[in-house]
Amino acid sequence: MSIWKTPQRIWLTGATSGIGEALAKKLIAQGHHVVVSARQQAALDALCNGHPNAYPLALDVSDRQAVAAAGRQIGEQLGALDLALFNAGTCEYLNAQQFDMDLVERVFAPNLFGTLYGVEAALPLLRAARQEGKPARLAATSSASAYLPLPRAEAYGASKAAVSYFLESLRLDLDQEGIDVSLIHPGFVKTPLTERNDFPMPMQVSADTAADAIINGLVKGHLDIHFPRRFTYMVKLLGILPPALRRRVGLRMTRTQEVSS
């Protein structure tokens, strides 16, 4: 696995579970100055215990004012950020026959708006790193589902596709400032969130493997960090099929649902 040659100042959200926890442990062990955010203070304290280079910052990413305050606190603590890595998110699956807009909003709140609140708070700190003459990178965890519409994934997939589109556009507009943007598109990763899934998850990898792939991609400056490659290339290929063929593929994965009267 590639590593940075010098310690980085990093803000990582979603740091106490799944991919985020694996990332936090690796980044802290590598000696980076890591601000770790999640909702539970106790879990953050346990993660940082014994590591003077780790800083717990409890946060609900769907609270815009709280995220802005977190950005200001990080600025006071670290002065700037070399990497802002927004990994917090959730997943719920929609039953179209019992359409639930509350579910859609619950998914979009952390996945899309939580990410964008983080971007808003982190950009001044990334610009501060550039003013020091150092590289600066913004990164966010999207999903391989952003490549291909899937049944029951209306809320989750759309929230992640929106993250991917927004940050790919932002990448173009930040280029003149020298701020790079990386998107992370994992396939199935074994986490507490995916353990709730009630369907097969082909080519699933561990959170530790996912964290290695992400760090390696970030160090190398990859714009699209996706894994496992056999799975994500297949999903990308399906995503560029003509709509009629994509529909046929999707219908093979669709369950029969009871229609409410």
**pTM listed for this prediction:** 0.91
Residue 259 lies in a domain: no
Q: How large a percentage of the chain has pLDDT more than 90?
A: 75
pLDDT of residue 199: 63
Residue 261 lies in a domain: no
Residue 3 lies in a domain: no
Lowest mean pLDDT among 53-67, 79-93, 198-212: 198-212
What is the rounded distance in angstroms from the CA atom of residue 166 to the CA atom of residue 172?
10
Helix (H) and strand (E) counts for the chain?
Answer: 9, 9
pLDDT of residue 260: 46
What is the rounded distance in angstroms from the CA atom of residue 4 to the CA atom of residue 79?
19
Range of the domain at 217: 9-252
Mean pLDDT for the stretch of residues 236-245: 89
Residue 257 lies in a domain: no
Which CATH number characterizes residue 112's domain?
Answer: 3.40.50.720
Beta bridge partners of 34: 10, 54
Whether the upstream peptide bond of residue 56 has omega within 30° of 0, thus cis, is no
- Which residue in 260, 230, 258, 250 sits closest to 154, CA to CA? 250
Beta bridge partners of 10: 34, 83
Q: How many CB atoms lie within 10 A of CB 82?
A: 24
Residue 258 lies in a domain: no
Condensed to tens digits (0 to 9), the pLDDT of residues 93-118 reads 998 889 999 999 999 999 999 999 99
Judge whether 65 and 73 are in contact, CB under 8 Å: no
Condensed to tens digits (0 to 9), the pLDDT of residues 144-177 reads 999 988 888 999 999 999 999 999 999 999 999 9
Condensed to tens digits (0 to 9), the pLDDT of residues 198-210 reads 666 677 889 999 9
User: How many independent structural domains does the chain possess?
Assistant: 1
Residue 240 pLDDT > 60, yes or no?
yes
